[in-house]
Amino acid sequence: MSEISSNISLLLFLGAFPVIIILLLVYYKDKNKEPIGLLMKLFIGGFISCGLVLMLSGLIENYLPVMSPSVPKNIFETLLYSFIGVALIEEISKWIMVYFISYYHKEFDEIYDGLVYSVFVSLGFAFIENILYVLVNNSIATAIVRAICAVPSHACDAIFMGYHISIAKQQSIYKNKRQEKRHLLLSIIVPTLIHGIYDFCLLSGYKSFIIVFLIFVVVMYFISINKLHDMSSTNKKIIGKKYMYCKYCGQVINHAKKCNHCGRNQF
C-alpha cells in the first residue's frame, strides 16, 4: 500500500512540476507583478475551461460523430479532428476565461500582462489535463514526455494568445474597434493553428510526421521563448486616451495630420 501511495505521489509531482516551473518563469519575468488573487482566479479559470471543453466536445460529437476520439478516422478526418475537435475547442475555452476574467480588469495596463494572464489560464488547463493523463497511464515515462512536450506546448499557445490580446487591449484604448476585433480574432486563430499542427502531427499515424513534429516543436519553442523575452524586456504601459491614434492602422500619431506609419491623412 505504501509503495502504491509513493508511486502516486511521484506521478502527481511529475505532473505538476513542469506547470509550476513555467508559471514561476513567466511570473519572474514580469517586472510589475500582477496581484496573486487575480492570477489564482485565472489559474482556476483554467480548471473551469476543462469542463467547458468537455461540454463543447460533447455537443459537437452529437452532430459530428467523427469528432469523437474513439471513432476511427482517415487522414482528412484526423485533420478536422485535430484542428476543430481538439485545438479550436480547447483554445476557445481558454480564451473565454482569459477574456472574461482579465480583459476589462483594472490591472491590465501593460503589454506583458496579456501574456501572463493567458499563460496562467492555459497552464491551469494543462495542470488538470496532465495530472489525469499521468494517473490514468500510471507511467513515469508519460509524465516525463508530457513535461517536455505537452505542457510547454500549452504555454507556447498561450504566449501567442496573450500577445494578440495585449495588442487588442491597446487598440481598445485607442478606440480602434477594427484593429481590436482583428487581434481578438487572431488571439484565437494563431494558438489554434499552432495547437492543431502539434496534434495533427501526433495523430496522423504517419512516421514521417514525427520528424515534422520534432522540428515544429523546436521552432515553436524557440519563437515562443524569444517572444516571451521580448515582451518582458520591452514591456510598456498600454497608452491612455490622451493620445490620438490613426483611424486606419491604429498607430499613435500624437495629433499629427498624417500618420507616419501608413501615410494616410487623418482629416
- Residue 94, helix vs strand vs coil: helix
- Please check whether residues 105 and 176 belong to one and the same domain: yes
d(CA 164, CA 175): 16
Q: 153, 184, 152: which is closest to 167 by C-alpha?
A: 184
| Residues 98 and 121: beta-carbon distance below 8 Å | yes
d(CA 170, CA 177): 10
pLDDT per residue rounded down to tens, the chain (267 residues): 455 556 788 888 888 999 999 999 999 999 899 999 999 999 999 999 999 999 999 999 988 888 888 888 899 999 999 999 999 999 999 999 999 999 999 999 999 999 999 999 999 999 999 999 888 888 888 889 999 999 999 999 999 999 999 999 999 988 889 999 999 999 999 999 999 999 999 999 888 899 999 999 999 999 999 999 999 988 888 865 444 556 555 555 655 567 766 777 765
- Parent domain of 228: 2-233
Number of domains in the chain: 2
d(CA 186, CA 196): 15
pLDDT at 40: 97
- Please check whether residues 21 and 152 belong to one and the same domain: yes
d(CA 148, CA 123): 14
- Please check whether residues 252 and 209 belong to one and the same domain: no
- Please check whether residues 247 and 216 belong to one and the same domain: no
| Residues 227 and 159: beta-carbon distance below 8 Å | yes
- Please check whether residues 105 and 173 belong to one and the same domain: yes
pLDDT at 1: 47
- Please check whether residues 222 and 245 belong to one and the same domain: no
Q: 226, 232, 220: which is closest to 152 by C-alpha?
A: 220
| Residues 97 and 42: beta-carbon distance below 8 Å | yes
